Amino acid sequence: MSEVKKLRVRLTFPQELIKEPVLFRMAKKYDVMPNIRRARVTDTFGEMILELEGTETNLQQGINSLREQGVVVELIEGDIIE
């Protein structure tokens, strides 16, 4: 069985996805457990800081599916390469 990993990320949702249960669907489909720490939603965007827990493959597939739907997925550290 693959090792379970945790990844801390910042999700930015475009306006058209704010009302959609994007995160829940991803979590269910790919067996990824989200642990939300901070979030804010305005008229024009949604932002969420959270931890995702799952196997490497599931995490990657889950993140890819979020990106394909238009969610920006970034590490909470920001860009590390300086």
Positions in the binding site for other proteins (CB under 8 A): 8, 12, 37-38, 45, 47, 49-51, 72, 74-82
CB of 28 to other proteins, least distance (A): 23
State whether residue 26 is helix, strand or coil. helix
CB of 47 to other proteins, least distance (A): 7
* Min CB(19)–other proteins separation in Å: 18
Which of 33, 40, 18, 30 shows the shortest CA–CA distance to 61? 30
Nearer to other proteins, 16 or 82 (CB): 82
Residue 13, number of CB atoms within 10 A of its CB: 22
